[in-house]
A and B are shown apart, each in its own frame.
Chain A
Amino acid sequence: MNSKEHNHSHDDHDHDHDHAHSHLPSDPELRVKAIETLLLSKGLIDSATLDELIDTYENNIGPQNGAKVVAKAWVDNDYKKRLLEDATSAIRELSYQGRQGENMVVVENTPEIHNVVVCTLCSCYPWPVLGIPPTWYKSDEYRSRTVREPRKVLSEFGLNLDPNVQIKVWDSTAELRYLVLPMRPIGSEDMSEDELAKLVTRNSMIGTGIPEIVK
């Protein structure tokens, strides 16, 4: 590499010759920065709220919330009834509400029916109880194949259902979001609500997994 610093005496300055200047971000990064600069200058957004939003979804809101809803439904039949009748209100009882959780529907797995949730349009997902969707939920493969061949997709998650079990696929939208109430695992009869919540994985509430007791 040329040891000389940038020579700004010519107009067609080629920046490949040296890395003395800052690393140039990718095109999408620059476009996001342009949007952010524009909106900040117009006072339409503020940096503190942006940071708070990111922190909230990276650290505070996630599948652990949904797991508490499921565990409560497992130990409290009245709560389970309310959850299946009016999921939005029942979930609000645990203080999980708001953004992308305004209209929730909970679908219950039974020995005969296994539910699985997808968003065929984009990636609609119940943020208050599950947080931000995982990468695979947002992929075309999951979004298109789950509708066409759900049993095969579930088997690729390691979930091989009995052929007699019917699979129901629910398409979440911007207005209606689904959460699966998985079956309580056999062998969990003596567990407390807190212990039960630890068995409930994100995938089991989307329907691509089931809660399992790790021996």
Chain B
Amino acid sequence: MNLKTNYKLPFTSKNNNQIVFQSPWHSQLFAITVQLSERGNFTWKEFVEYFGKSLNKARIIKQNLDGNDDYFNSWLLALEEIIISKEIGNSKILSIIKDDWINAYLSTPHGDPVKIKQRSI
């Protein structure tokens, strides 16, 4: 990794106040992972192993990952991989549901609640 000597770390305030999650999807992803682990689907140690690998993969494409979207993109990939590996779901069904959401957003008038149809999974 290249050392950028003039790089300023994204240091925030020194007091205890901070925005815990920068985006709603970060907090949602965090809570889903914690709950799924605590209900016995995988241990936290197992998740951390997937997460570490996923961060390393991301580093092949981009050096110096930030602790924000980069970090949670890797977290997301790790959760997808552990879900597939534990056979909780597979990539095909995740892709189908994602498409359902895309179609729902594109067909729902602005301002209306976006819902997807129930699908037998």
Contacts and interface: CB of A to CB of B under 8 A. Distances in A.
A25 B105 CA distance: 8
Given A15-B106, A21-B108, A49-B35, A31 B94 contact: yes
B28 A32 contact: yes
Interface stretch (A37-45, A83-91, A185-193): A37-45
Interface residues of B, number: 72
B70 to A, nearest CB: 8
Contacts of A38: 83, 88-89, 93-94, 97, 121
Nearest to A138: B67
B120 to A, nearest CB: 9
A88 to B, nearest CB: 16
Contact of B10 (A36, A49, A132, A135): A135
B94 A201 contact: no
Contacts of B11: 136, 156-157
A34 interface: yes
A121 B110 contact: no
B110 A39 contact: no
B86 to A, nearest CB: 11
Contacts of B48: 121-122, 124, 173-174
20 contacts: A22-B108, A24-B106, A25-B25, A32-B76, A34-B98, A35-B79, A35-B80, A35-B89, A41-B119, A41-B121, A53-B31, A58-B21, A62-B20, A99-B38, A122-B55, A132-B30, A135-B66, A144-B1, A156-B11, A201-B14
